[in-house]
Amino acid sequence: MDKIISTLKDKMSKTIDVLKSDLSTLKVGRANPNMLDRIEVEYYGTMTKLNQVANISTPESRIIMIQPWEKNILKDIEKAILKSDLGLAPNNDGSTIRLIIPEMTEETRKNTVKKVKKIGEDSKVAIRTIRREANDKVKSLKKDNEITEDDMKKSEDEIQKITDKFVKNIDDLVADKEKEIMSI
Which CATH number fits the domain that encloses residue 94? Answer: 3.30.1360.40
Domain boundary among the residues 42, 65, 100 is at 100
Confidence of residue 184 (pLDDT cuts 50, 70, 90): low
Of 14, 17, 28, the residue nearest 113 (C-alpha): 28
Q: Please report, for the domain that includes residue 16, its CATH number.
A: 1.10.132.20
My answer on whether 112 and 176 are in the same domain is yes
My answer on whether 12 and 59 are in the same domain is no
My answer on whether 123 and 93 are in the same domain is no
Domain residues for the domain of 58 are 33-100
Domain boundary among the residues 100, 123, 157 is at 100
67 touches 55 (CB < 8 A): yes
pLDDT at 15 over 90: yes
My answer on whether 15 and 75 are in the same domain is no
Instruction: Give the span between the Cα atoms of 95 and 28, in whole angstroms.
Output: 27
pLDDT (tens digit per residue) in 51-83? 899 999 999 888 999 999 998 899 999 999 888
Instruction: Give the span between the Cα atoms of 16 and 174, in whole angstroms.
Output: 11
My answer on whether 162 and 146 are in the same domain is yes
Mean of the per-residue pLDDT values for the chain?
90
My answer on whether 111 and 92 are in the same domain is no
Beta strands in the chain (DSSP E): 40-43, 46-49, 54-60, 63-68, 90-92, 97-100
Q: What is the pLDDT of residue 108?
A: 85
pLDDT (tens digit per residue) in 103-127? 888 888 888 899 999 999 999 999 9
Does the model's pTM come out above 0.85?
Answer: no
My answer on whether 115 and 174 are in the same domain is yes
Number of Cβ within 10 Å of residue 50's Cβ equals 23
Domain boundary among the residues 75, 100, 125 is at 100
My answer on whether 141 and 112 are in the same domain is yes
Q: What is the pLDDT of residue 35?
A: 84
E strand or H helix that includes residue 111: helix 106-143
My answer on whether 168 and 134 are in the same domain is yes
Number of domains making up the chain? 2
C-alpha distances out from residue 106 to 28, 88, 96, 109, 180, Å: 12, 18, 31, 5, 13
Higher per-residue confidence, 156 vs 26: 156
With both helix axes pointing from N to C terminus, report the angle between 2-24 and 106-143 in degrees, rounded to the nearest 10: 170
Which residues touch 170 (CB under 8 Å, ≥6 apart)? 16, 19, 120, 123, 124, 127
